[in-house]
Structure 1
Amino acid sequence: MLISRLKTMLLMGLLLLGNHVNSEGLDKLTFITESYPPYNFENSGILRGISVDLLVAAAQKVSQPVTRNKIKLYPWARGYRNAVDGPNIVLFATTRTEEREPLFKWAGPITATRIVLLAPKASNISIKSPEDLKKYKIAAIRDDVGEQLVVALGIEKGKIKSSANADSVVKKLANNKVDMWAYEENVARWFIKKNNLNNDDYATVYVLKEAELYYAFSKDVSDTVVASVQEGIDKVKAAPGKVGKTLYDDIMSEYM
C-alpha cells in the first residue's frame, strides 16, 4: 500500500513538473517584430531576415519550434509598448542600450548595429559635435532607438520629425521636408533603395551609436525561457554551416 501511494505521489509530481515546464515554453510567448530589413521583413507574405531565421533556428535547436506565422509584424511603436507592458512578449530586433537595459530581459546578440544620421550629399551637411545638430530638422521612427538617441543629445522635440514607418521618412528626406534621418544604417539604405532612390546620393554624416541587436523579452518572462532562447542562439553560432563556418554564418550570408 505504501509503495503504491509513493508511486502515485511520484507520478503526480512528474505531471505537475511537466505542466510547469510546458507553461514556460516558447509556445506561450508572443513574438513581435517590425519591417526592419535585412534583419526582419515580409516578402511575399512570409517573414524573413537575419533575426527571423536566427530565432527559428535557435528554437529548433532547443526542441521548441517557433513557426514564422506565429510572429506578428507591427509598427515599431506599437510593438515596443507591448513589450514594455507585457505579458509574455518578445520584441526583435531590438538595439540594446543603457536606457533600455532595465526595461527588458535579453537574449543575443543577433548582430552588431550602427545607428547613424543620413543626409543628402547635396546638402553638404557636416556634423562635428552634437551641438551642430540643433539647427537641423531630424527624421526618426517613433520610439525607435534613433529617436531616443537624438532626444538624449538634447535636441528639441520640435526639431525631431517622428513617423510611424520608414517609407514615409524616405519621402520626407527626398522632398527636403527634413535634413537628415536618425536610423540603423543598413536598414535606412535598404529603404532608400526600395523607394527607387540612389544610395550614392546619401551620406552618413554622424554616428549616434554602435551597439548590438537582441531579442528583448518583457520583464514577466521567466529567466528559464530567456535562457533557453540564449542556449539556442549559442548552439546556432556553434553548429557547422553548409556555406560558411557556422550555421549562423550561413544565415548572415543570406542577407548581407
Structure 2
Amino acid sequence: MKSIMSCFFCFLIWMQVSIANEHIKIITEYFPPYSIYIDGQLEGISTEIVKTVLNDLKLNGLRISVYPWVRAYNIALTEKNTLIFPLGRNKRREKLFKWVGVISPAQFYLFSLHNRDDILISSLNEAKQYTLGTVMNDVREQYLIDKGFKIGSEISTSLNHDQNLFKLLKGRIDLWPMNELAAYYLVKKRKLLPKYTIKKVFHLADLSTEGYYMAFNKDTDNNTVSKFKESLNKIKREGIYKNIINSYLIDE
C-alpha cells in the first residue's frame, strides 16, 4: 500500500513539474472589465479567474503579459504553450486552439446612441444599412464578415473597444457590436450614465454563447490543457468562480 501511495504522490508531483517545465506564456489584452489595471495591478473578471487557476496549480510565478488584441491573437496562434484570454469561441476558431473553458459571461448586442430613434432593426441583415464599429480580428468582426458585412463599407475597424465607443459618441459609426458588461463599463469609465448614453437595438443571439474562454495554442501538450481544465472546473464547483463574477457585475 505504501508503495502504491508513494507512486501516486510521485505521479502528482511529476504532473505539476511537467506543467511548470512547459514555460507557459500567458497573454491578454486591455479589455475592461475583463482585464484592467487597478492601482497599477492587472485585475478584472477574466484575470482574477486565471490567477485563481494559476494559484490552484501552484503556478503563481507565471507572468501575464498585456498586448494589443491583434498581436495577442497572432502570438496565441503561432507560439506553443501560449494561453490567451478572454477569447470568444466560434466555428472559425474551433480548431485553432485547445479550449480550457468559460471564464466570464458574454451576451452580445448591437448598441446605438440612446437618442438614435431612427435605428430600428428586426434582423441582422437590416444592420447593413448602417456603419458598425469593430476591433480587428475580434470575434464580433469575424462573425459579421461571415454574415456578409464588408470592412470599409458596413464595418469600420479599430484597434480597441474604447476607440469604437469614441466613434459612436462622435457619430462616426452607427452601431457598436459589444457585450453588455464591457459596454456599460466603458461608458461609465467616461463618467457617463449608460442608460442615457447607449441602448440595445438588436441581440446577437447566435454570437452570444456561454461566455469568453481561456484557450491554449493548438500545439500545447494535452496534459497541460487537461490540468488547467480540472483546476477551472474545481473553482467553479467550489463557488469561487461565481463569487468573482458577481463582484464585477455592473448595473445599467
TM class, shorter-chain normalised? 0.7 to 0.9
Counterpart position of 1:210: 208
CA distance in 2, matches of 1:198, 1:224: 46
Counterpart position of 1:121: 114
Q: SS at the partner of 1:191?
A: helix
Q: SS at the partner of 1:102?
A: coil
Counterpart position of 2:235: 236
Residue among 136, 140, 144 paired with 1:146: 140
Q: SS at the partner of 1:98?
A: coil
CA distance in 2, matches of 1:115, 1:99: 18
Number of residue-to-residue matches in the alignment: 232
Q: Deviations over 1:63-83 (max 9, x none)?
A: 33355xx10111111111111
Counterpart position of 1:255: 248
CA distance in 2, matches of 1:192, 1:227: 38
TM-score of the two chains, using structure 2 as the length reference:
0.85
Q: Is the Cα–Cα contact under 8 Å of residues 151 and 157 in structure 2 kept in the other structure?
A: no
Q: CA deviation at 1:152?
A: 1.4
- 1:220 correspondence with 2:214: no
Q: Deviations over 1:168-226 (max 9, x none)?
A: 21111111011011122211221111123331121111122211211121111111101
Q: Is the Cα–Cα contact under 8 Å of residues 60 and 232 in structure 1 kept in the other structure?
A: no
Q: SS at the partner of 2:105?
A: strand
CA distance in 2, matches of 1:121, 1:156: 25
Q: Deviations over 1:60-114 (max 9, x none)?
A: 22333355xx101111111111111112211101111122111100111113311
Within 5 Å, give how 1:28-39 maps onto structure 2.
Answer: 28-39=23-34
CA distance in 2, matches of 1:40, 1:60: 18
Residue among 58, 78, 92 paired with 1:99: 92
Q: SS at the partner of 2:95?
A: helix
Q: SS at the partner of 2:107?
A: strand
Counterpart position of 2:73: 80
Counterpart position of 2:3: none
Over aligned residue pairs, what C-alpha RMSD do you find?
Answer: 2.0
Q: SS at the partner of 2:208?
A: strand
Counterpart position of 2:6: none
TM-score of the two chains, using structure 1 as the length reference:
0.84
Name the structure where helix makes up a greater proportion of residues: 1
Q: Deviations over 1:39-73 (max 9, x none)?
A: 22112221111211111111222333355xx1011
Identity of aligned residues (%): 30
Counterpart position of 1:182: 177
CA change 1:46–1:96 in 2 (3 A) is same
Q: CA deviation at 1:27?
A: 6.3
Q: Deviations over 1:101-141 (max 9, x none)?
A: 11100111113311221101211211111221111010011
CA distance in 1, matches of 2:96, 2:245: 28
Structure 1, gaps ≥5 residues long: 1-13, 240-245
Counterpart position of 2:4: none
Q: CA deviation at 1:26?
A: 7.3
CA distance in 2, matches of 1:21, 1:42: 30
Q: Is the Cα–Cα contact under 8 Å of residues 142 and 162 in structure 1 kept in the other structure?
A: yes
CA change 1:54–1:27 in 2 (3 A) is farther
Q: Is the Cα–Cα contact under 8 Å of residues 104 and 216 in structure 1 kept in the other structure?
A: yes
CA distance in 1, matches of 2:61, 2:35: 15
